[in-house]
Chain A
Amino acid sequence: EPEVTQTPSHQVTQMGQEVILRCVPISNHLYFYWYRQILGQKVEFLVSFYNNEISEKSEIFDDQFSVERPDGSNFTLKIRSTKLEDSAMYFCASSELVAVELFFGSGTQLSVL
């Protein structure tokens, strides 16, 4: 069964460093998303991406964040200068069309020290 793949599963970084989280969405899906979950809190939306551009972004997704689809398969989230409060589980998701079932990856646990 097709699945969304995320790498790495765990990432530890120092405050101020840049990190890139990687995702391979399901191959025939057109819409891509990043969500995050701080420990003990709700899953929160960061950004949605379609046709090589951002469709919508939340207040969390400030200038420190960026997304890219560098080739036909990968979808990345970059955090330019990490802060302690960026520590969270980051989930990538994809959907075939807009407003249909979303499929999530297993997440990248980011720890900023």
Chain B
Amino acid sequence: KQEVTQIPAALSVPEGENLVLNCSFTDSAIYNLQWFRQDPGKGLTSLLLIQSSQREQTSGRLNASLDKSSGRSTLYIAASQPGDSATYLCAVLRNSGNTPLVFGKGTRLSVIA
């Protein structure tokens, strides 16, 4: 059974700092991995999708990497801003067709001005 773990559970950084959020998964047979942002009491906003054949994806100040063999992904946020404060979730899709996303519990990020 696929398990997704995100460390740390919470992170507080000063504005402007670069930071890395970690995601690990137990079964490396994944089809893709998706990073989401969740604001308190709100929905999930898709940030980046990495296919299993890719090593990384970039969108603006965000860069996500994937090491499938070791079961790890990282989300790098450059030059953090207070508006980046949110919970960041990673989710993996198993390598067997129309199967559900398995989510981690998320990392709650606070960027202090």
State the A residues within 8 Å of B (CB).
Answer: 6, 31, 33, 35, 41-45, 48, 50, 55-56, 58, 89, 91, 93, 98-107, 109
Contact = CB atoms under 8 A, between A and B. Distances in A.
A103 B46 contact: yes
A45 B101 contact: yes
B100 A99 contact: no
A43 B108 CA distance: 15
B17 to A, nearest CB: 27
Interface string B37-60: 000011111100100000000000
| Chain A to chain B: the 10 pairs with minimum beta-carbon distance, closest first | A45-B100, A106-B43, A104-B44, A43-B103, A98-B98, A101-B49, A107-B43, A55-B98, A42-B103, A99-B31
Interface residues of B, number: 24
Nearest to B44: A104
A35 B103 CA distance: 11
A67 B99 CA distance: 17
B98 A48 contact: yes
A58 B100 contact: yes
Nearest to A89: B41
Interface in B76-113: 89, 91, 93, 97-106
B74 interface: no
Nearest to A33: B100
B98 A50 contact: yes
A91 B43 CA distance: 7
Contact of B46 (A42, A48, A89, A104): A104
